Amino acid sequence: MNEDEFLRKLASELPSERMSAVQWAVEENLDPKFRSRLIEAAAHEGVPRIRRAIGVALRRIDDKEAQTQHSIENPTDRDADTTVILEELSGIIRHEMQPAIGWVRYSANKELAEFDSSATNSAIEALRRRVEGLSSLAAAHRLPQRQQVSLSEIVSACISDEYPSSMFALEFPEEPSDGIFTDPGLLTLILTNAVHNAVDAARELDTSEGQILIATNVGDSRFWITIRNRFLGTTFDYTKISATGRTSKRGHRGLGTRIIELASSRLGYDFDLSASGGTVTFSLRGSRFA
């Protein structure tokens, strides 16, 4: 198969031809110039197996670019040592946490009759995504592991069952598809910390004032997430929190906000945290398919 045939089959109405094109992309050392075509194909692909294969092809392109960049930079011995440390730390996180999560899932599956649809299963899956995010965050030298996810589904999954549902008001887009191409582990780290910060602030208020609004939206090429809640105060300066790592919370060092900052930077997203008139607004913006 040549590049022209690859593009023709990738746009075919026949799933078998699209799968053939994607398999070729996975096996070949595909030029990074085809990244946008693959991302566009993933955004419109309705067959899960083909969509997953496109994700593999995109990761191959990412790996190729990372290797090229590594060669260009010609790192020093110290840089190489740092890379090894980060790689080992990322592996340790997975090594220590993934088996434990697997055993919890196994035990819960034996003890709960309706485990697959249970809140316990949802909580275990949310924990698994956070571990994946921590591993990706530790491996700062690697490109994010992006795949197609539903924006509304990943936001909903980041709201823990430990919080009362009445605390949240959710506004999701009416579009039939709100898919974005992202690293779900890193995005989960951002959202779980943002939601946790909002809950912490809202719990200090009366029930009537403690509701948290979470809204998402997508455009042709961009997405937005906004989390808004009341808090005991009027305004604050996020740049001071970012610089010192400290907030007004007793015994708190603002590490959740620092994680949000680091993960957003890895994904190339813009985020803002501001407060005015006793209302805190967290916003995250980024490209849907890059």
Residues 133, 188: Cα–Cα separation, whole Å: 7
Three-class SS of residue 280? strand
Residues 185, 154: Cα–Cα separation, whole Å: 10
What is the DSSP track for 193-254?
A: HHHHHHHHHHTTS-GGG--EEEEEEE-SSEEEEEEEEE-SSS-B-HHHHHHH---SSTT---
Pairing of strands 222-230, 212-218: antiparallel
* pLDDT number for residue 226: 96
**37-51, 110-124, 152-166, 238-252: segment of lowest average pLDDT:** 238-252
Residue 99 has pLDDT above 50, yes or no: yes
Report whether 197 contacts 282 (CB < 8 A). yes
* pLDDT number for residue 236: 60
Residue 217 has pLDDT above 90, yes or no: yes
Query: What residues are paired with 281 via a beta bridge?
Result: 228, 274
Three-class SS of residue 281? strand
Neighbouring CB atoms inside 10 A of 224's CB total 15
Neighbouring CB atoms inside 10 A of 243's CB total 9
- Going by pLDDT thresholds of 50, 70 and 90, the confidence category of residue 208 is low
Average pLDDT value for the chain: 79
Q: Is the pTM of this model over 0.75?
A: no
Of the two residues 94 and 141, the one the predictor is more confident about is 94
Of the two residues 21 and 89, the one the predictor is more confident about is 21
* pLDDT number for residue 207: 65
Residues 65, 134: Cα–Cα separation, whole Å: 23
Residues 44, 165: Cα–Cα separation, whole Å: 32
Q: What is the mean pLDDT of residues 210-217?
A: 90
**131-145, 214-228, 266-280: segment of lowest average pLDDT:** 131-145
* pLDDT number for residue 212: 92
Of the two residues 114 and 244, the one the predictor is more confident about is 114
Residue 216 has pLDDT above 60, yes or no: yes
Residue 242 has pLDDT above 80, yes or no: no
How is the chain split into domains, by residue range? 3-73, 87-138, 147-287
Residue 148 has pLDDT above 80, yes or no: yes
Burial code (b: 16+ CB inside 10 Å, e: under 16) for 66-78 equals eeeeeeeeeeeee
Burial code (b: 16+ CB inside 10 Å, e: under 16) for 85-109 equals ebeeebeebeeebeeeeeeebeeee
Of the two residues 136 and 287, the one the predictor is more confident about is 287
Report whether 179 contacts 213 (CB < 8 A). no
Q: What is the mean pLDDT of residues 179-205?
A: 87
CATH topology of domain 147-287: Heat Shock Protein 90 (3.30.565)
Task: State which of 49-58, 132-141, 210-219, 241-250 shows the largest mean pLDDT.
Answer: 210-219
On whether the 3-73 domain is CATH 1.25.10, my answer is: yes
